[in-house]
Amino acid sequence: MASLMDYSPKELAKARSRCRKWIMCLARYLSPLALYTATPDSEESLGFIALNAGVQAGATPFDLRQVILAHTQVKSDEMRIYFSSLLPFALVSPSDKLKTLTSLLNVDPMEIEVPNESSVVAVVYMIPVPNIWKSGSSPNRSLSVLYMLCCKADAVFHALQHIFQPITIGTEKLLHFSKNQSCKDTNMLSCKSITEVPGLFIVDDFITQDEHDAIWDELKGPTATILEKENLSRRYVAHFNRRFYYGVNKLGNVGESVNENPHFYNWMRSRLRNEDSSYEIHDYPSFTKSCTFDQLTVNFYDYDSKTTTEGTVATVGPPGIAPHVDAHSPFTDGIFIISLGSHTVMEFSRYDKPPEATAPIGVLLSPKSLILMTGEARYAWTHGIAEKRVDILADFLPPLHRGDRISLTWRCGNNEVHKREDCMCKEFCDGV
């Protein structure tokens, strides 16, 4: 068992001082702390707050899990880690298998008075670990230790549940490789409903690798067609068949101020209607057979450095797209997005639960996949892509780095007047 006696008085004093600062930081989110701190002999469900191992502190939940497994007796299936990119700390909670985690630490606890709360003492375990901090609280020349505050796990979870990031939908695909099965000469694809967002569907492997590569080469490869692109915030877009005019939310006429239709235009429209004789999509919404798919917008998300006309490299932020709802009036029901290149995470928030109030639901979009928004997902939920280079999907997966990505967004022009009084989500409606 690691003992506090292993540290010099100077090291211990410095560690206590740093720990108090992290506790003061925690108090900004949990107050009064007396409601959440606990002693190891408590009969409640006990876990830990990793005071200095949150995303904002420069640590990832994956690295936190690894050091806990390596430096304590806690097993992987005995804990759950809750985190958020908005927090400098993380919650380590016992799983259903255990009631408490405190007995599984091989270190002496230390008691630290909680600043600004008289008579409240926090029990903190100081665990020496390798440097897991990429930035922020990186110890540099000081002690590399993890501060684990004993807490009432359920109380902390319920207080911060609206901030903690839900596990990104689709992460299981990274753990267990699965591919849509093929049968004889017809590719059998499966359309899966995302129950967390009503009206949201995803089809993995909607296009083949060869089709993916051919489309990529046509749009972005060395011999790519020169396209007329529009420079939007953090991304470029190119319009085909019908142009969408941002700002005024209007749809142009066929062939007006657009690029020549790409080679994949016709066969992909057929597949989107589930009319491709070589493919059959199970559980696919039937309304798609009547969709025109007469508007295609190609979005370019470039993560490479930009070179100015003077030949110098300009520093640019990562691309993304702000949370939004596609305009109701110009388009009918159904937004269809096909991903090429890198993965990304699309975040969804219901109109009455904006992302600043409740953590959005993240959905992993893999290359070659199709995501389909209909009904409530199309009209009442915002969707967006956060401007970041790295995705932290879950505590059991290392971070994923994004790369260049292209999305093919297919929509159907609306030839009828969209009336606000008939809209399922008047809060987002731009109808008459």
Looking at domain 172-422, which CATH architecture does it have?
Sandwich (2.60)
Lowest mean pLDDT, pick from 115-129, 244-258, 265-279, 387-401 = 115-129
Average pLDDT score, the chain:
90
Q: What is the pLDDT of residues 351-385, one digit of tens each?
A: 999 887 889 999 999 999 999 999 999 999 999 99
User: Beta partners for 50?
Assistant: 90, 148
User: Residue 137's pLDDT is what?
Assistant: 54
Q: What is the pLDDT of residues 287-324, one digit of tens each?
A: 999 999 999 999 999 987 554 334 444 446 899 999 99
Angstrom distance (rounded) from CA 399 to CA 171: 11
- Name the region of 379 (left: φ>0; alpha: ψ -120 to 50; beta: rest): alpha
User: Residue 68's pLDDT is what?
Assistant: 94
Residue 113: burial class (beta carbons within 10 Å; 0-12, 13-18, 19+)? middle
How far, CA to CA in Å, does 360 sit from each of 55, 168, 169, 357?
17, 10, 11, 9
Residues 6+ apart with CB under 8 A from 21: none
Angstrom distance (rounded) from CA 353 to CA 367: 29
Q: Please give the DSSP secondary-structure letter assigned to residue 368.
A: T
List the one residue out of 421, 419, 323, 328 whose CA is nearest residue 376. Answer: 328
The pLDDT of residue 101 is above 70: yes
Confidence of residue 44 (pLDDT cuts 50, 70, 90): confident
User: Residue 307's pLDDT is what?
Assistant: 42
Taking a C-beta distance cutoff of 8 angstroms, is the pair 278, 264 a contact?
no
**Residue with the larger pLDDT of the pair 242 and 175:** 242
Quick one: average pLDDT of 388-407?
95
**Residue with the larger pLDDT of the pair 141 and 367:** 367
Note the pTM of the prediction, 2 decimals: 0.90
Quick one: average pLDDT of 170-177?
82
User: Residue 357's pLDDT is what?
Assistant: 82
**Residue with the larger pLDDT of the pair 115 and 35:** 35
List the one residue out of 246, 209, 241 whose CA is nearest residue 230. Answer: 246
Taking a C-beta distance cutoff of 8 angstroms, is the pair 64, 81 a contact?
yes
Confidence of residue 183 (pLDDT cuts 50, 70, 90): very low
Residue % of the chain over a pLDDT of 70: 92
Confidence of residue 185 (pLDDT cuts 50, 70, 90): low
Give me the helices (H) in 43-138, please: 61-71
Q: What are the boundaries of each domain within the chain?
A: 4-160, 172-422
The pLDDT of residue 60 is above 80: yes
Residue 238: burial class (beta carbons within 10 Å; 0-12, 13-18, 19+)? buried
Angstrom distance (rounded) from CA 147 to CA 16: 10
* Distance of alpha carbon 280 from the chain centroid: 30
User: Residue 184's pLDDT is what?
Assistant: 47
Residue 91: burial class (beta carbons within 10 Å; 0-12, 13-18, 19+)? buried
Residue 283 CB neighbours (<10 A): 11
The pLDDT of residue 80 is above 50: yes
The pLDDT of residue 4 is above 80: no
Quick one: average pLDDT of 149-174?
95
Lowest mean pLDDT, pick from 35-44, 107-116, 140-149 = 140-149
Q: What is the pLDDT of residues 399-424, one digit of tens each?
A: 999 999 999 999 999 999 999 999 99
How far, CA to CA in Å, does 172 sit from each of 1, 66, 84, 394?
37, 19, 19, 10
User: Residue 186's pLDDT is what?
Assistant: 65
Quick one: average pLDDT of 152-170?
96
Confidence of residue 180 (pLDDT cuts 50, 70, 90): low
